[in-house]
Amino acid sequence: MEYEVPLHVDACLGGFLIAFMDQAGFPLKPFDFRLPSVTSISCDTHKYGFTPKGTSVILYRNSELRLHQFFAVADWPGGIYGSPTVAGSRSGYLIACCWATLMYYGIEGYVKETRKIIQVARDIADGWNKIDGVYLLHQPDVSVVAISSNKFNIYYLFDGLHAKGWHLIGLQNPPGIHIAVTQMHTQPGIVDKLLEDTRQCVEEILKSNTKKDTITVYV
């Protein structure tokens, strides 16, 4: 702030959760324009805004900052070309679906979904934390829960859960696996099933150590 360096908050993943967490009963430290040095924030509507893929939002503290968003060519033979995005032509269909979804949920709907998702993330963290052989890589504030192990190669658990139908995501540096809790995981019985499957896999892994390794590749 002292040197007037703009500060962008990339809230793409969790933007539509953290904005509603206070109201959902899970207070968070401020991360947004309440902090005087924050100048822009991105939030993906197509993640926890539950809209179809292909829309996102960028917010600027003021319209002067927003001016830098635009690209314009004045001497193009086809006339003045201006665009606020890197992508040129975009589908109005996606914008309409995004708007309709936002209207469908409304603030109340998002608060309700946030409450369910965060509660499930905390339940998974608590459950995993109680399983001997794995440990939480962090105490999750929001919807992503990550674990690792210092008793076995954590990718064995990744493979074991995959075989039981859980498509978790591998991490590296440090090695780990994580789940980004979504609406689907808030259905009754899902958390218990995940915890039970994790317990079973960990038990089996601890009994045998003859499995092949998995390398995590994110593309």
Choose one: 8-16, 25-33, 131-139, 202-210; the region binding ligand PLP (CB under 6 A). 8-16
Does 13 interact with ligand PLP (rule: CB under 6 A)? yes
| Bridging pattern class, strands 7-10 and 38-43 | parallel
**H-helix segments, the chain:** 15-18, 21-24, 63-66, 92-129, 154-163, 190-207
SS3 199: helix
Q: Are 133 and 152 in contact (CB under 8 A)?
A: yes
Task: Compute the least distance from the CB of residue 57 to ligand PLP, in Å.
Answer: 11
Instruction: Return the structure tokens found at 135.
Output: 């440990």
Interface pattern 18-47 for ligand PLP (x via CB under 6 A)? --------------------------x---
Does 8 interact with ligand PLP (rule: CB under 6 A)? no
Task: Compute the least distance from the CB of residue 47 to ligand PLP, in Å.
Answer: 6
Task: Compute the least distance from the CB of residue 204 to ligand PLP, in Å.
Answer: 33
Does 108 interact with ligand PLP (rule: CB under 6 A)? no
The residue (of 118 and 201) whose beta carbon lies closer to ligand PLP is 118
Query: How many residues make contact with ligand PLP (CB under 6 A)?
Result: 5
Choose one: 5-13, 98-106, 135-143, 156-164; the region binding ligand PLP (CB under 6 A). 5-13
Task: Compute the least distance from the CB of residue 147 to ligand PLP, in Å.
Answer: 20
How far apart (Å, rounded) are the C-alpha atoms in residues 141 and 66?
30
- For 104-148, the DSSP string reads HHHHHHHHHHHHHHHHHHHHHHHHHHTSTT-EESS--SSSEEEEE
The whole-angstrom distance between residue 36's C-alpha and the CA centroid of its chain comes to 25
Instruction: Return the structure tokens found at 80.
Output: 């003045």
Nearest CA among 165, 155, 164, 162 for reference residue 205: 155
Task: Compute the least distance from the CB of residue 50 to ligand PLP, in Å.
Answer: 14
Q: Are 94 and 52 in contact (CB under 8 A)?
A: yes
Choose one: 6-14, 72-80, 129-137, 139-147; the region binding ligand PLP (CB under 6 A). 6-14
By CB under 6 A, name the one of 1, 6, 10, 130 that touches ligand PLP. 10
How far apart (Å, rounded) are the C-alpha atoms in residues 210 and 212?
7
Residues 44-83 that bind ligand PLP (CB under 6 A): 44, 56
Residues that bind ligand PLP (CB under 6 A): 10, 12-13, 44, 56
